[in-house]
């Protein structure tokens, strides 16, 4: 009798098991054993409850094992780790044939894994195909290249650290269009190996030749885990970050590339900081609840949907929200988890547990945790909500059941990232405050892209003074500005929205910023939290009148 199981496993019953000694004597271990076949063979004896109790033969690894057929129903297995062979006598020929088939199947899989790369071992085939197809489109490369903060920060980092690139051999991991390789060449790199696994490598080769770097930028098609380089490199550069820093699991490929790095070599970036903080956003929570409640209808065109409400709640609240937000929703200073790319192992990124203990600086409901990241090697690239927006935005993980927290209270818990074979992570968050605990599991592979391109607004109740009074006070101040003694004409722009930073943090001090603007100069001032721009047709006066 055979019962098929998940994962190409099988269970055989009523099997006689015995040891065969070197002098060909057999020691009977069981006349009525149950054996389970997978990567190893578990030999057990049945119980009245139907459970399998292993007998002393135990687990028999199929790795490097051999087998022999003795007649139609007997199979002898000789494990590599045991000098004594094991005899299995099945109750019929069919079971013996199925056992041999499973045995060969398991050995073939084990053998194929020996030739699999680290990437292939951690990624299912469908996800890998989708991943490389996605990055093979020029539109996706353009989306990243047009992220001004991202691209300019990398270029500035290369230019300001010329000693790590001039005359050096550089490795660009996940080169894409090759933009980072070109930056390295701008600083006089000796050679750059641009490794790219998607079809984008073909476009990269064209750009290399068109820009006159053929032979100096060497495009290497393939995954960093699979390719071979003829020499060690001085510097590794890559942009391996995904949403919440970890998504897409390219950090592991970046770390894997260290096998090509000379001792003392440099990595750009060398460290990554993941920041997160509890937040309060009733609007987002109600928006998500509204989507869930669609499935709570008793008569949608005459159909009852409410049986799916619980599953809908898990799905919608299980989506990390990708957008940006006003810093006023944050309820505490952020917690920072740091990873050193120059020393960490790939295995350390498979499961990441981050405990936290926040002290709330405001009272309100905690709706979840907000995440952003920063990376650096002397020059910082930040995706913080207080900084210019990037294509990574920020990410929020919601709680299905918000919990209340008082100012000064401790908010404790843990964030657990568990890598999966879909090139992403399952994210578990547990938050405790004032004796109440709320938790949620999210799928980082399935985010909700909420960003709509509109400027972020401060949360309700953000202002401690009258916004209307501040508005008219600012206008009155502008109208009272004296004319400049040099006779220059001043044009005043409309008031912009309040700055993202709280007014108290700026201390009410006038902020002045002179920037060249073609035929004149643009001066920016800060008055009562509002920003005004003045354009001069000639150079600004030597002394700007005080506004307070």
8 A C-beta contact, residue 455 and residue 497: yes
For the ranges 134-148, 373-387, 489-503, the lowest mean pLDDT is seen at 489-503
Q: Comparing C-alpha atoms, which of 536, 538, 540, 521 is closest to residue 491? A: 536
Say whether both 111 and 159 belong to one domain: no
Q: Is residue 499 part of a domain?
A: no
Say whether both 109 and 132 belong to one domain: no
More confident of the two residues 201 and 541: 201
Output the six-digit token pair for 480. 């009272």
Say whether both 81 and 147 belong to one domain: no
Q: Is residue 255 part of a domain?
A: no
Output the six-digit token pair for 470. 């501040």
Q: Is residue 457 part of a domain?
A: no
8 A C-beta contact, residue 329 and residue 281: yes
Residue 55 reports pLDDT greater than 60: no
Say whether both 324 and 211 belong to one domain: no
Predicted confidence at residue 128, as pLDDT, reads 94
Predicted confidence at residue 488, as pLDDT, reads 52
User: For residue 216, what is the domain's CATH number?
Assistant: 3.40.50.150
Say whether both 288 and 416 belong to one domain: yes
Residue 63 reports pLDDT greater than 70: no
Give 129's contacts (C-beta < 8 A, 6+ positions apart).
Answer: none
Residue 50 reports pLDDT greater than 60: no
Residue labelled with tokens 């990624």:
123
Say whether both 72 and 17 belong to one domain: yes
**pLDDT bucket at 112, cuts 50 / 70 / 90:** low
Say whether both 90 and 200 belong to one domain: no
Q: Which of 223, 239, 255 is the last residue of a domain?
A: 239
Instruction: Write out pLDDT tens, residues 286-320.
Output: 999 999 999 999 999 999 999 999 999 999 999 99
Predicted confidence at residue 521, as pLDDT, reads 42
Say whether both 283 and 423 belong to one domain: yes
Say whether both 307 and 436 belong to one domain: yes
Predicted confidence at residue 519, as pLDDT, reads 42
Say whether both 403 and 442 belong to one domain: yes
Give the CA distances from residue 117 to residues 120, 122, 129, 422, 464, in Å, rounded to whole numbers and listed in that order: 5, 9, 15, 16, 58
Give the CA distances from residue 544 to residues 99, 105, 523, 527, in Å, rounded to whole numbers and listed in that order: 90, 82, 10, 14
**pLDDT bucket at 476, cuts 50 / 70 / 90:** confident
8 A C-beta contact, residue 393 and residue 245: no
Say whether both 184 and 228 belong to one domain: yes
Predicted confidence at residue 106, as pLDDT, reads 64
Predicted confidence at residue 16, as pLDDT, reads 81
Across 177-181, average pLDDT? 98
User: For residue 316, what is the domain's CATH number?
Assistant: 2.70.160.11
Q: Is residue 233 part of a domain?
A: yes
Output the six-digit token pair for 179. 């933009």
Residue 502 reports pLDDT greater than 50: no
Q: Which of 449, 467, 488 is the last residue of a domain?
A: 449
Q: Is residue 32 part of a domain?
A: no
Give 60's contacts (C-beta < 8 A, 6+ positions apart).
Answer: 40, 41, 43, 77, 79, 82, 86
Instruction: Write out pLDDT tens, residues 385-432.
Output: 999 999 999 999 999 999 999 999 999 999 999 999 999 999 999 999
Q: Structural domain of residue 289, as residue ranges?
A: 272-449
Q: Which of 416, 449, 482 is the last residue of a domain?
A: 449
Predicted confidence at residue 531, as pLDDT, reads 40
Q: Is residue 545 part of a domain?
A: no
**Percentage of the chain lying above the pLDDT 70 cut:** 74
Instruction: Write out pLDDT tens, residues 452-467.
Output: 888 898 999 888 899 8
Predicted confidence at residue 18, as pLDDT, reads 76
Residue 214 reports pLDDT greater than 50: yes
Neighbours of 101 (CB within 10 A): 12
Predicted TM-score (pTM) of this structure: 0.69
Predicted confidence at residue 535, as pLDDT, reads 41
Angle between helices 309-317 and 282-293 (to 10 degrees): 140
Say whether both 132 and 109 belong to one domain: no
Q: Comparing C-alpha atoms, which of 34, 31, 30 is closest to residue 3? A: 34
Q: Is residue 150 part of a domain?
A: yes
Predicted confidence at residue 375, as pLDDT, reads 98
Residue 53 reports pLDDT greater than 50: no
Q: How many independent structural domains does the chain possess?
A: 3
For the ranges 300-314, 357-371, 469-483, 489-503, the lowest mean pLDDT is seen at 489-503
Three-state SS annotation for 187-219: CCCCEEEEEECCCHHHHHHHHHHHCCCECCEEE
Q: Is residue 182 part of a domain?
A: yes
Neighbours of 112 (CB within 10 A): 10
Q: Containing H/E element for 521?
A: strand 520-527
8 A C-beta contact, residue 367 and residue 320: no
Instruction: Write out pLDDT tens, residues 86-96.
Output: 788 888 888 88
More confident of the two residues 43 and 215: 215
Predicted confidence at residue 407, as pLDDT, reads 98
Residue labelled with tokens 């505490």:
332
């Amino acid at each position: 009798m055979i019962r098929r199981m998940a994962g190409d496993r099988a269970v055989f019953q009523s099997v006689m098991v015995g040891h065969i000694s070197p002098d060909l004597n057999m020691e009977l271990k069981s006349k009525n054993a149950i054996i389970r076949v997978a990567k190893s063979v578990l030999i057990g004896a049945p119980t009245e409850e139907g459970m399998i109790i292993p007998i002393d033969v135990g687990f028999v690894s199929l790795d490097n094992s051999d087998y022999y057929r003795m007649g139609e129903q007997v199979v002898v297995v000789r494990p590599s780790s045991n000098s004594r062979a094991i005899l299995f006598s099945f109750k019929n020929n069919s079971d013996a044939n199925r056992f041999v088939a499973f045995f060969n199947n398991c050995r073939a899989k084990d053998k194929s894994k020996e030739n699999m790369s680290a990437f292939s071992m951690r990624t299912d085939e469908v996800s890998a195909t989708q991943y490389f197809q996605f990055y093979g489109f020029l539109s996706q490369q353009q989306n990243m290249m047009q992220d001004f903060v991202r691209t300019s920060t990398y270029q500035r980092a290369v230019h300001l650290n010329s000693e790590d690139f001039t005359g050096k051999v550089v490795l660009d991991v996940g080169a894409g269009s090759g933009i980072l390789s070109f930056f390295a060449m701008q600083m006089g790199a000796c050679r750059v190996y641009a490794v790219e696994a998607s079809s984008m490598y073909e476009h990269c080769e064209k750009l290399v030749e068109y820009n006159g770097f053929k032979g100096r930028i060497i495009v290497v098609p393939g995954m960093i885990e699979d390719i071979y380089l003829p020499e060690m490199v001085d510097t590794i550069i890559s942009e391996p970050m995904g949403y919440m820093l970890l998504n897409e699991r390219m950090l592991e490929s970046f770390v894997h590339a260290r096998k090509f790095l000379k001792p003392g070599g440099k990595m750009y970036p060398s460290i990554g900081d993941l920041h997160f903080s509890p937040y309060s956003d009733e609007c987002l929570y109600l928006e998500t609840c509204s989507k869930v409640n669609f499935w709570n209808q008793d008569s949608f065109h005459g159909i009852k949907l409410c049986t799916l409400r619980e599953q809908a709640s898990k799905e919608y609240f299980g989506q990390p929200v990708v957008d940006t937000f006003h810093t006023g929703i944050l309820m505490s200073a952020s917690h920072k988890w740091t990873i050193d790319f120059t020393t960490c192992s790939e295995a350390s990124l498979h499961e990441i547990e981050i405990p936290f203990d926040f002290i709330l600086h405001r009272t309100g409901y905690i709706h979840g945790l907000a995440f952003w990241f920063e990376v650096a090697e002397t020059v910082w690239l930040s995706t913080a909500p207080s900084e210019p927006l990037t294509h990574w935005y920020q990410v929020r993980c919601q709680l299905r059941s918000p919990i209340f927290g008082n100012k000064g209270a401790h908010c404790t818990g843990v964030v657990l990232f568990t890598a999966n074979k879909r090139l992403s992570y399952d994210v578990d968050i547990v938050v405790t405050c004032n004796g109440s605990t709320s938790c949620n599991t999210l799928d980082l592979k399935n985010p909700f892209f909420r960003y709509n391109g509109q400027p972020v607004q401060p949360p309700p109740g953000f202002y401690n003074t009258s916004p209307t009074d501040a508005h008219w006070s600012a206008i009155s101040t502008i109208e009272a500005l004296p004319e400049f003694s040099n006779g220059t004409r001043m044009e005043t722009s409309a008031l912009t929205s309040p700055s993202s930073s709280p007014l108290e943090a700026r201390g009410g001090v006038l902020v002045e910023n002179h920037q060249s603007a073609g035929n004149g100069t643009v001066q920016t001032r800060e008055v009562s939290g509002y920003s005004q721009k003045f354009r001069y047709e000639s150079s600004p006066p030597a002394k700007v009148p005080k506004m307070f």
